[in-house]
Structure 1
Amino acid sequence: MADAATQLPKSKRRARWPYLLAVAALLAVISIKWLVPIAMEQRAIAVIRAECPLVSITNPGGTSPLLLPPPPPKSTKDSLELITSFHQTTTLGTGTFANTEYIGPAIFQEWTDHKLLRIESIAGDAENLRPAADKLHWLQHVRNVYFYDASDEDMNYIRQFTNLESLTLLNPRITDAGLSRFGTLSNLRRLKIRQAEFQGSGLASLSKLKQLEELEITLTPLTDQGLKYIGQSSGLKSLLLIGTSVTGEGLKHLQDMKNLETLSLVGTGITDSGIKHLLPMDNLEDLDLSETKVTLDGVRQLHVLHNLRRLRLGGFGMTNAQRDELQQALPGCEVTRY
């Protein structure tokens, strides 16, 4: 007797094909969108372990000396001492550390014997990852990177972390050409660069970073040309330009940054004539003019900034009476000095 399946009318057998094709398509999508990336990330991690002996990959819940950036300095002198001492400390050990997390829900983790990992943050010497550079584009869950001594060569793989949200570069050896590669980091929210040598023409790529909210450039010969490109990042809320070569004239490039809430110009060469460019910043809440060439006459112009809540004037050398006078002229704003 013929098999029951073969006895079905051809029309009914043909009717099954759309469902089978739909299931096959769904499995293909799952494989391409989920399984293949997981497999390739495991491959990248395996290559890092095999070819990058100075990179330590920690298991979730483990401890690693993940480096944290030093806090923003109060003065140019403090920033130099703080950053220099931090750099000396971190370079005593030449390792790089990658923090991981398990993939998927708990039941999936148990089913895979907790062997599937994804890297979420990396810190240390950027050079240590170069042997695996051609595989690092598969690390699509990296959210935070803290590197010291990064070069233009390292930017070739850093730019592939397209889901990166926070990037800190301490004492980088990157040029303006290297800066121009930041444009692929479309999810970047925080960028901190300390003790670099570029002047800023490569910062034109910042205009592509629509999510960028915090930018810090410290102890770097950034010029007014760089400010022109920074001013195009209209979404910035925090901008620290400590110990840079910007001038008051260059601040005209920033006057349309209506979302800016925090601005530090510590140790720059701005004078009273540059203050007028800050006055259109209606949302400015925190302003640091310490160690600049601004005088009390320039500071008095700030009374039009009605949302200003904190004003730091370190190194001004003003008397208590002058400070009290300024405090009365800026009601609702805390004026501090050192």
Structure 2
Amino acid sequence: MNLGLQRLKCLELSDTQVGSNGLRHLSGLVNLESLNLSFTVVTDGGLRKLSGLSSLKSLNLDARQITDAGLAALTSLTGLTHLDLFCARITDSGTNYLRYFKNLRSLEICGGGLTDAGVKNIKDLSFLTLLNLSQNSHLTDKTLELISGLTQLVCLNVSNTRVTSAGLQHLKPLKNLKSLTLESCKVTANDIKKLQSADLPNLVNYRPE
């Protein structure tokens, strides 16, 4: 390890051919706070090599080959505040590992493997300000009920799910919500406007509009 890199705080490796073997070279980067491994060839097993990066706050793993096992390998990274698993193949079982990340402010899980049962493990992440669960086509209005206690949420995306206008009532407690995206759901722009005018005065961006 080059001693000059030990102070490195941000490392951008997205869209590269970095693989699991290459991650062993990161183990000495004890001050690393942000790491982007999206669209790399890193696998679940390789993520174990990140377990000692205790300063890590932001991790981007937007890659189809990452699964629940990869999430399990990261449970020592309890300081994470931003976790992007956009394309990762996370299932309800994998969401059990989210309980190790109590400090999360931002979470994206959009690989299509979640049902309402998995959202039960997200509902206690009370510091979340951004939550993206789009593309999980099995999610229903029950998901909105489960996350109704996440009152710090500023941005919520549940597009391409089975959410309907009837479920919008569960969003009334989310008074800090500024952005709400419900594309390809059984929800109209008028439904959202009614919710905005009656209960969500801070809502400024919404889809459909």
TM normalised by structure 2 equals 0.86
1:56-67 residue pairs with structure 2 within 5 A? none
Find the counterpart in structure 1 of residue 195 from structure 2. 326
Q: Distance in 2 between matches of 1:244 and 1:157?
A: 32
Shift of residue 318, structure 1, vs aligned partner: 4.0
CA shift in 2, pair 1:182/1:173, >3 Å: same
Find the counterpart in structure 1 of residue 116 from structure 2. 248
Find the counterpart in structure 1 of residue 171 from structure 2. 302
Find the counterpart in structure 1 of residue 7 from structure 2. 141
Residues 98 and 122 in structure 2, CA contact (< 8 A), matched pair in contact too: yes
Find the counterpart in structure 1 of residue 148 from structure 2. 279
CA shift in 2, pair 1:293/1:333, >3 Å: farther
Find the counterpart in structure 2 of residue 99 from structure 1. none
CA shift in 2, pair 1:225/1:174, >3 Å: farther
Find the counterpart in structure 2 of residue 72 from structure 1. none
Cα displacement string for residues 198-248 of structure 1 (whole angstroms, at most 9, x for unaligned residues): 212232343322331111112221112221112320001111223442222
Of 281, 292, 295 in structure 1, the residue corresponding to residue 161 of structure 2 is: 292
Find the counterpart in structure 2 of residue 114 from structure 1. none
Residues 177 and 200 in structure 2, CA contact (< 8 A), matched pair in contact too: no
RMSD: 2.2
Q: Distance in 2 between matches of 1:318 and 1:279?
A: 18
Does residue 186 of structure 1 match 2:186?
A: no
CA shift in 2, pair 1:159/1:293, >3 Å: farther
Amino acid at match of 1:336: Y
- Identity across matched positions, percent: 28
CA shift in 2, pair 1:202/1:321, >3 Å: closer
Find the counterpart in structure 1 of residue 132 from structure 2. 264
SS of 2:70 mapped into structure 1: helix
SS of 2:75 mapped into structure 1: helix
More RCO (CA 8 Å, sep 6+): 2
More helix as a share of residues: 1
Residues 220 and 245 in structure 1, CA contact (< 8 A), matched pair in contact too: no
1:148-167 residue pairs with structure 2 within 5 A? 148-167=16-35
Residues 149 and 170 in structure 1, CA contact (< 8 A), matched pair in contact too: no
Unaligned 5+ runs, structure 1 = 1-36, 42-117, 119-138
CA shift in 2, pair 1:288/1:333, >3 Å: farther
TM normalised by structure 1 equals 0.55
Residues 136 and 161 in structure 2, CA contact (< 8 A), matched pair in contact too: yes
CA shift in 2, pair 1:249/1:329, >3 Å: farther
Please, which moves more after superposition, 312-321 or 251-260?
312-321
Shift of residue 179, structure 1, vs aligned partner: 2.1
CA shift in 2, pair 1:323/1:260, >3 Å: closer
Shift of residue 320, structure 1, vs aligned partner: 4.4
Unaligned 5+ runs, structure 2 = none
Residues 187 and 211 in structure 1, CA contact (< 8 A), matched pair in contact too: yes
Find the counterpart in structure 2 of residue 58 from structure 1. none
SS of 1:239 mapped into structure 2: strand
Residues 217 and 244 in structure 1, CA contact (< 8 A), matched pair in contact too: no
Q: Distance in 2 between matches of 1:285 and 1:319?
A: 20
Please, which moves more after superposition, 239-248 or 294-303?
239-248
CA shift in 2, pair 1:312/1:157, >3 Å: same
**Which one has the largest radius of gyration?**
1
Cα displacement string for residues 276-319 of structure 1 (whole angstroms, at most 9, x for unaligned residues): 22122122221111222211112221112233232222223644
Shift of residue 156, structure 1, vs aligned partner: 1.5
